[in-house]
Structure 1
Amino acid sequence: MSADEIVVVGGSGSPKLTANICRYLGIEPARRDVFHFSEGTTFVKVGENVRGRRVYLVQSTAWPANDHFMELLFWIDALKRASAAEITVIIPYFSYGKGDKKDEPRVSIRARVCADAIEAAGASRVVTLDLHAPQIQGFFRLPVDDLDGLPVLAEAVRCKGLENLVVVSPDMGFVKQARKYADFLGTGLAIGDKERRGHDEQATVLRIIGDVEGKTALIVDDVVISGGTLVEAARQLVAAGATAVYAAVTHGVFSKDAMQQIMASPIQRLFVTDSIETQPVAFCDKIEVVSVAPLLAEAIRRIHYRESISVLFPL
């Protein structure tokens, strides 16, 4: 193995995605071992010589989020202690991205705590996908590349040949990204007026702002967990005259009852990426998974050979 060959290590949160990334790069994933002991602790071991090597660690932090995040830190530490020259952490889904601010008294800014831990463990660089809040990049004192799942999802939608399409943002907070989808697909834009009153992952879409009557609506978002917001938005769109409803979401987290909600909803097809592969539920027939492995693999290749990755961003 040459010193400049790409080394990719996959954590237990992303084994399939790691394999697909390596297939795109024409390499084999690095050998590694992960053990979960009976008292709940985790042990990791790198099975390759990484001394002086530039290593790329792939680990999504979901289901179980805390276990996979701790494993991520252990991998960084193991690689650092094995004398890896650089450790680029690929986090397809950063689970604590919603904890980006102190919006009520006596709460933790969880994303900042995670950023500090990743940096303290010894990471050299972070690559992630559709952070819930882009300002999280500023929580790190090391380079962060927040890639965009838009081209992958939008191309999957385009291949369906949907006519008279309108892109719908489920709330005001996602309008900027939804406008990028609309520009990419050459469509109009509508917005859901959403209200969230607690931490129970339930929100109410009060109304749809914009013209959706007689159109095929495409709801776009970064994360779906319970599916409540998507389902409520879909119902409001149908009530407002939309003839069909589709959805495209980067991170399909999917809690226990999500599939039942989606199956019972007006949504005809929900596109998600493979940023998460450890969900506790089996996908229903309405879910279509599109892979971000080529996107992440190309980012790894460009970083490794000191090329610009700006071409990976759609707009």
Structure 2
Amino acid sequence: MNTESEIKVFAGSTGKDFAEKICIYLKSQLGKSRVITFSEGNIYVKVEETVRDKDVYLVQSIGLRPNDEFTEILFWIDAFKRASANSVTVIMPYFSYAKGDKKDEPRVSIRGRVCTECIELAGADRVVTMDLHSPQIQGFFKKPVDHLFALPILCEYINSLKIDDLVVVSPDSGFAKEARKFARYLKLPVAIGDKEREGHDENAKIIEIVGNVKDKNALIVDDFSISGGTLIDLANELKKRGVNRIFACLSHVLLNKDGVTKLENSPIEKLISTDSVYNPYVMDSKKVKVISVAPLFAETISRIHKRESVSPLFNKVPKEVLQIEE
């Protein structure tokens, strides 16, 4: 049987920091590899050590540069397979194209399905990801998918803040089911925002809030934010309705430079998220608290490698994984 010392973890161009944290947890060395992006945008990858008959774990999110990062993943899988790796597991903490999960109007692509099929055709044997925008995306894969959840780690950090009179707020009815999971874990009430989105842009208008929020503190929960528009609009509406302190909690933080600026000038006191996406824009923000989920993924890799069950990690994580301080 394989041992943890034989685990071969490699990183894509934007997955190195996350992969190094995984290796610290596993007490292993990061695999040697190289990525070159030529001036016209062409990507070149090379595995710089033998992987023959090894089980390889490639760490790369599809995040702020989704097209480049997705293409790079395909090239890495192909390189490992051509180097005779026994198996290739893609460790993809965030899958951006999971947002393209349906055909809700004529003549559009189901982008999530196209991407999953390409990953499998390139040769991936397994995928590990976290908090997909739509859980049914797992059904696009024919290969095994381990779908992890940031909720226990985020909630434990929130509990450590000891905020009184807190209510969990969902930005819309679509996320209400997930918001209730946060509320059950934290033993808190729920309020739900009602938002309206007219186009395919990143702007939505909050038109109502269902639930009692007056004179309470609010925790807005969502899976991700790019522009911060919905979070900040909801925070402003909560303030109008008598909320005292406002916090936000995201599984993935994709805020761009303008989004961080808006956050800094908003009523949101603290935005809590994970390091699932390499995002240099949030690193210097005093309002953003990033909690590492690398130990959660490292423990998952360890269990996969030892042929042990991963499902116990879905709802409750070991204490050693709850490393809420970076």
Q: 1:220 touches 1:248 (CA, 8 Å); kept in 2?
A: yes
Write out aligned runs for 1:25-104 (5 A): 25-104=26-105
C-alpha separation in 2, matches of 1:272 and 1:252: 6
1:158-237 matches, within 5 Å, as: 158-237=159-238
Q: Give aligned pairs, total.
A: 315
Q: Distance in 2 between matches of 1:309 and 1:215?
A: 38
Q: Can you list the C-alpha shifts for 1:16-57, whole angstroms capped at 9, x where unaligned? A: 111001101111110101111122111111122111111111
Counterpart in 1 of 2:147?
A: 146
CA RMSD across the alignment? 1.5
8 Å CA contact 1:60, 1:68 repeated in 2: yes
The alpha carbon displacement at 1:154 in A equals: 1.1
Taking a change above 3 Å as real, the CA distance of residues 160 and 80 of structure 1, as seen in their structure-2 partners, is same
How many Å apart are 1:65 and its aligned residue? 1.2
* Cα shift at 1:136: 0.5
Residues 1:293 and 2:294 are matched in the alignment: yes
Determine if contact 1:269/1:286 at 8 Å carries over to the other structure: yes
- The answer to whether the 8 Å contact 2:3/2:306 transfers is no
Which whole-Å deviations, capped at 9, do the CAs of 1:139-191 have from their partners, x for residues lacking one? 01111111101111111111111111111111111111111100111111110
Q: Distance in 1 between matches of 2:209 and 2:125?
A: 44
In the other structure, the counterpart of 2:322 is none
For 1:195 and 1:221, how far apart are their aligned partners in 2?
Answer: 16
Q: Does the 8 A contact of 2:4 with 2:26 survive in 1?
A: no
8 Å Cα contact 2:103/2:109 also seen in 1: yes
SS at match of 1:27: coil
Query: After the TM superposition, which of the residue ranges 258-267 and 110-119 deviates more from structure 2?
Result: 258-267
Query: Take 2:282 and 2:162, find their aligned partners in 1: how far apart are those partners?
Result: 29
- The Cα offsets for residues 42-84 of structure 1, whole Å up to 9 and x where unpaired, read as 1111122111111111001122211111001000000011111
Tell me if structure 2 keeps the 8 A contact 1:254–1:279: no
State the distance in 2 between where 1:310 and 1:2 align: 20
Tell me the distance in 1 between the aligned counterparts of 2:261 and 2:96: 23
Assess if the C-alpha contact under 8 Å between 1:271 and 1:289 holds in 2.
yes
Letter in 1 for 2:129: T
Distance 1:161 1:281 in 2: 24
Aligned-residue offset at 1:225: 0.5
Answer whether contact 1:272 1:289 (CA < 8 A) is retained: yes
- What's the CA shift for 1:260? 1.5
Shift of 1:281: 6.0
1:159 match: secondary structure = helix
CA distance in 1, matches of 2:97, 2:140: 12
Amino acid at match of 1:123: A
Distance 2:283 2:143 in 1: 37
Q: List runs of 5+ in structure 2 lacking aligned partners.
A: 317-326
Q: Partners in 2 of 1:156 and 1:192 — Cα distance?
A: 24
Distance in 2 of aligned mates of 1:147 and 1:31: 27
2-side partners of 1:93 and 1:285: how far apart? 23
Could you tell me how far apart the structure 1 residues matched to 2:182 and 2:39 are? Answer: 46
CA contact (8 A) 2:130 2:147 kept: yes
Question: Counterpart of 2:18?
Answer: 17
For the 8 Å contact 1:225–1:254, the answer to whether it is kept is yes
One-letter code aligned to 2:236? R
Q: 1:2 to 1:136 in 2, by over 3 A?
A: closer
- 1:44 is paired with a residue whose SS is strand
Structure 1 position 127, deviation (Å): 0.5
Distance change (3 Å), C-alpha of 1:70 and 1:280: farther
Q: What are the within-5 Å matches in structure 2 for residues 266-285 of structure 1?
A: 266-279=267-280, 283-285=284-286
Unaligned runs of 5+ in 1: none
TM-score normalised by length of structure 1: 0.97
State the shift of 1:311 in Å: 1.2
Amino acid at match of 2:45: V
Verify the 8 A CA contact 2:100 2:112 in the aligned structure 1: yes
1:205, 1:278 → 2: CA distance? 27
